[in-house]
Amino acid sequence: MPFNTIHFLILLPPVAIVYYILPHKARYFWLFLASFGFCALWSTISALVLTGVTATTFISGLMIESSKKIKSKKKRRARQRAWAALGIILAASALLSFKYFSYITLGVANLLQMVGVSMQSPQFSLALPLGMSFYVLRAIGYLLDLYKTEDAAQKNVFKLALYLSFFPYFAGPIEPPGDFFEKLAKVKRFGFSRLQEGVLAIGWGLFKKMVVADRIAVVVNTVFERYNDYAGFIIVVAAILLAFQIYSDLSGLLDIARGVGEILGFDSPVNFIQPLFSTSMINFWGRWNSSLSGWFVDHVYEPLGGGSRPGFFESVNVIAMFLAYGLWHGISLKYALWGLMHGIVVVSARNSQTSKEALTHSLRIRTTLFSYRLAKIIVTFLLVDVTWIFFRASDIFSGYEILQRMVSEFNPWVFIDGSFLELGLGRNEFSLMITGILLLIVIDICSISNDIRQKIQEQNAAFRWLVYLFGIFFIIVFGVYGPRCNPSPFIYLQF
Amino acid sequence: MKNVLKTFLFLILLLGMLLGLNSFFCENRPHFLSYRKLSYGKLDVLVTGTDHMLSGFNTMRLWQEYGISSYVLANEAQPYAAAYLNILEALKSQRPKVIVIDAYSALYGESYCGFLSDKSLLYENFEQVPFSMDQVEVMWDLLPFWEFCEFYLPVYRNHSDWASLRKGFFIPGERDGHPFAGFDYPKFTTAENEIPALVLGETPMSPKTEASLHRVIQLCNQENITAIAVQLPYAARKDEAQDWYGKENYLRRFLENLGVAYFDSNALAGEMGFDYNLDMIDSDHLNFSGGVKFIDFFAKNLIEGYGLKDHKGEIGYYYWEGLEDEYQSYISAETGQ
């Protein structure tokens, strides 16, 4: 049940009301039931797989803790390592099986063919259970944390299940387990201000998804799926729109998640901190989906050695982390390339810091000026956007062809001859899309030095209500939903 | 407490806005504006039914030649459930002597008459009746839960129409194209039609169709109004003939059991002097001459069988008198006479 459906919006209030009516001790169980039900509504397989991963993670966690009784440190660590590895392998295998089922069977079929055994690959693929990529990361993170820190394992299987599958967070953010259990333990009282902030976050998320992202998706899909029919500036503009689509889709999803979490008393950090205004790739990764990238830093980069050996090895660790990040999206060359590109650019940026400073100094470029910052923002945006092209294209060859077609023709007349109105959106819809993007940028700029939600909360009731009603009106009238529209699912739901 | 009151007030405002948006985006307005112009007690014949009635039941011929006042509350693919609601609404301001029920609606195959896959017709038929608890009851019975919710949320269905908003688009007004007491501008083209042979045997109507028709007849009985089922001439397609004629046979027996008269124009085509190649614009709809022949024959039935009188020259029939000139001008322009 995606967030941008009426079913979810109808079911959320009763879930929240019952939550606050129940005594504190019973609330986690109610949230577990709601989360499990959310998963089961998606599909029975989702619920079964979640149950399986929860069970194996829970048991592995208990066994890691029970291994503390072993007096010999070497044996204790070996036992803990074995149980952690087992739990991680089981969780990861489940994910790999679903995600890469068709690739695995094709690979097996090819291998068998090489030795003269013919095998027909199954003509179906396994639909990924809801949120699996995320709760498997949580499970792996939980077991790794238990192993590293020797903290106490979660003794309540329902609380662990809730951590793994908390329904507002099924597609992120990924919180450290300790933080989540700490929040779970706190008594939460209903607060109107928290409700208002949560509703504002949900509204903003729905606006980004339903008004902006889904509208951009029409144009992007038209161009990327038939890129051979387009060239030059049409593809350039579609590529730029792609960046806004991914940003508004993903940040919209996490805004809604954050809002729902806040209504239930679970505050989560902001995951997107104006990433469109990043001044470098390193800066970008500090602003983009920080909880997910933080997970890869903590559980891939650091275990590989992190920055303990600066220079070549650190660079390798960075690239390996980004490669893993890319492959987490899917076992495909395009995702691997996406990850590699980011890794290489981040490493290059780090290693060339001194040279860049020297260059700007020698060219007498004043780095404190707005123009310099703007140039860096634009360059970073373009670099990130190039990687998104490969991410979105059907494969790396298509991605390369799309880049080629961008420069194959110089056709500035497309900006005035109505070509953009033939990409699936009429004039009014296209104008609305541009308006939505501009509003997104303006709000992001304002958010740099202001907490917009806080500012709205501080205003008089009449103004606040006007903002809320206008926002709801905007989403209802201009959102892409309903029988005559073709809304896209949240991009990160497919992962 | 203050916050609770504020929230409550906000929710009221929100509800008001949603109701306003719902109303604004409802593209099918209730079509009773002209109907309500009729003087009370001056309606002789109320006609419900499908687009066959819109093109075939010539209300102006019935008025001009016979002084019998009639009004057509029909719509494309109107099911009996919608006819029921139309009659209920119509009876709030009129007391016709005869209600005509279109027998063609009995031939629809699906559980609620053929437009299961065409929701626009569903909405068109039921949104044209003003909101009422009867409507809610009928829709609740007819539709699955989420479709029921969708029906009462036109903003959910039609909000994307904002992109084609233009002046007058959502303003309630007369029903376009049905200017003559619900009767359409008559057409003058013809078509070649082949009439398949009649079949024996019965094919039952769909259960919901039968239940709805029963409800309509019961309503007429309760109100002491004579109901007549009328089948306008049509040429069944060969592949549908078995099913349609079978249903007609079933309908005939059904109506007989309920004591409702059945005016089967297909069976009376010879007596009417009806020619399927000259009096129809296609296999389903009558043209001008077909409508005239039908009305001339049916009017005799109304006068002799149900005692309807000629009201021309009487006070109170301004509505029909007012349409005569426009109708005549249209016919003259089309026929050159």
DSSP A412-477: GGGGTTTGGGGSS--HHHHHHHHHHHHHHHHHHHHHHHS-HHHHHHHS-HHHHHHHHHHHHHHHHH
SS3 string, chain B, reads CHHHHHHHHHHHHHHHHHHHHHHHCCCCCCCCCCHHHCCCCCCCEEEEECHHHHHHCCHHHHHHHHCCCEEEEECCCCCHHHHHHHHHHHCCCCCCCEEEEEHHHHHCCCCCCCCCCCHHHHHHHHHCCCCCHHHHHHHHHHCCHHHHHHHCCHHHHHHHHHHHCCCCCCCCCCCCCCCECCECCCCCCCCCCCCCCCCCCCCCCCHHHHHHHHHHHHHHHHCCCEEEEEECCCCCCHHHHHHHHHHHHHHHHHHHHHCCEEEECCCCHHHHCCCCCCCECCCCCECHHHHHHHHHHHHHHHHHHHCCCCCCCCCCCHHHHHHHHHHHHHHHHHHCC
Q: Say how far apart CA B116 and CA B109 lie, in whole Å.
A: 10
What residue type is B231 in one-letter code?
Q
CA–CA gap between residue B246 and residue B205 (Å, rounded):
9
Whether B21 is in a domain gets the answer no
Phi-psi region of A446 (alpha: psi -120 to 50; beta: other; left: phi over 0): alpha
Span B266-291, mean pLDDT?
93
B159/A482 CB distance under 8 A: yes
Query: Residues near A311 by Cβ (< 8 Å), separated by ≥ 6?
Result: none
Kindly state whether B156 is in contact with chain A, defined as any CB-CB distance less than 8 angstroms. yes
Is the separation of the CB atoms in B265 and B300 below 8 Å? no
Residue B12 inside a domain? The answer is: no
Tell me whether residue A59 is exposed, middle or buried, using C-beta atoms within 10 angstroms of its C-beta: 0 to 12, 13 to 18, 19 or more: middle
In chain A, residues with a C-beta closer than 8 Å to the C-beta of B18 are 476
Residue pair A201/A258 in contact (Cβ under 8 Å)? The answer is yes
- The pLDDT, as a whole number, for residue A121 is 55
pLDDT for A107: 65
Question: How many residue pairs from chains A and B have C-beta atoms closer than 8 A?
Answer: 46
Taking an 8 Å cut-off on Cβ atoms, the answer to whether B3 and A481 are in contact is no
The one-character DSSP state at A492 is: G
Q: Which residues of B touch A473 (CB under 8 A)?
A: 17, 21
Minimum distance, in Å, between the CA of residue A262 and any CA atom of chain B: 18
> How far apart (Å, rounded) are the C-alpha atoms in residues A73 and B177?
90
User: What pLDDT digit, counting tens, does each position of B103-148 carry?
Assistant: 999 987 654 444 445 777 888 888 888 889 999 999 998 888 888 8
Question: Does B169 reach chain A within 8 Å, measured CB to CB?
Answer: no
Q: Which pLDDT value is given to residue A122?
A: 55
Residue B299 tokens read as: 């009017």
pLDDT in tens, B1-18: 788 888 889 889 999 999
**Substitution target from B10, B152, B159 for chain A, most A beta carbons within 10 A:** B159
Is B119 in Cβ contact with A429 (below 8 Å)? no
**Cβ-nearest to A472 among B3, B14, B158:** B14
Does some domain include residue B16?
A: no
DSSP A301: I
Parallel, antiparallel, or unpaired: how do β-strands B98-102 and B261-264 relate? unpaired
Which chain A residues are within 8 Å of B160, Cβ to Cβ? Answer: 480, 482, 484-485
Under 8 Å between Cβ of B150 and A474: no
Total domain count, chain B: 1
Residue A181: which H helix or E strand, with range? helix A177-185
| pLDDT, position A124 | 53
Residue of chain A with shortest Cα separation from B13: A469
Interface of A with B (CB under 8 A): 6, 192, 426, 428-429, 461, 465, 468-469, 472-473, 476-485
**pLDDT of the residue at A141:** 94
pLDDT band at B156 (very low <50, low <70, confident <90, very high): confident
Q: Is B8 among the domain residues?
A: no
Selected for mutation to probe chain B from A477, A481, A485 (highest B CB count within 10 Å) is A477
- Tell whether the model's pLDDT for residue B264 goes beyond 60: yes
| pLDDT at B195 > cutoff 70 | yes
Sign of the alpha-carbon dihedral angle for B297, B273, B293, B263: positive
Can you tell me whether residue A119 is helix, strand or coil? coil
Query: How far is the alpha carbon of B160 from chain A, nearest alpha carbon, in Å?
Result: 7
Structure tokens at A59: 């048991």
B120: contact with A, CB 8 A cutoff: no
Q: Give the residue numbers spanning the domain of B315.
A: 33-154+173-335
Look at residue A119 in the predicted model and tell me its pLDDT.
63
pLDDT of residue B6: 85
| Token pair of A106 as six digits | 């094709």
* Token couple for A488: 């896209």
Question: Backbone dihedral region of B144: left (phi > 0), alpha (psi from -120 to 50 degrees) or beta?
Answer: beta
**Token pair 């951590």: residue:** A163
Question: How confident is the model at residue A120, as a pLDDT?
Answer: 60
Q: Do B156 and A482 touch (CB under 8 A)?
A: yes
Contact A491, A252 (CB under 8 A): no
B7 lies in some domain: no
Q: Which of B254, B213, B230 is nearest to B100 (CA)?
A: B230
Model confidence pLDDT, tens digit, residues B72-109? 999 888 999 999 999 999 999 999 999 999 999 998 76
Specify whether the CB–CB gap between B48 and B101 falls below 8 A. Answer: yes
Ranges in chain A, pLDDT < 50: none
Please tell me the distance in Å from B24's CA to the nearest CA on chain A: 11
pLDDT at B115: 47
The H or E element containing residue A270 is none
pLDDT of the residue at A351: 86
Angle between helices A157-165 and A44-66 (to 10 degrees): 130
Q: Is the pLDDT assigned to residue B251 strictly greater than 50? A: yes
Residue A330's pLDDT is what? 84
CATH of the domain at B269: 3.40.50.1110
Least Cα distance to A495 among A326, A334, A288 occurs for: A326
| CB contacts, 8 Å: B117 with chain A | none
What residues in B contact A6, CB-CB < 8 Å? 156
In angstroms, rounded to a whole number, what is the distance separating the alpha carbons of residues A122 and B166?
53
Is residue B85 within 8 Å of B138, Cβ to Cβ? Answer: yes
Q: Residue B171's closest CA among B31, B24, B73, B35?
A: B24
How much is the pLDDT for B113? 47
Concatenating the DSSP letter of every residue in A33-64 gives: HHHHHHHHHH-HHHHHHHHHHHHHHHHHHHHH
Q: Which of chain B's residues have a Cβ under 8 Å away from the Cβ of A476?
A: 18, 21, 155, 159
ipTM value, please give it: 0.76
Q: What are phi and psi of B47, to 5 degrees?
A: -110, 125
CB contact under 8 A, A469 and B14: yes
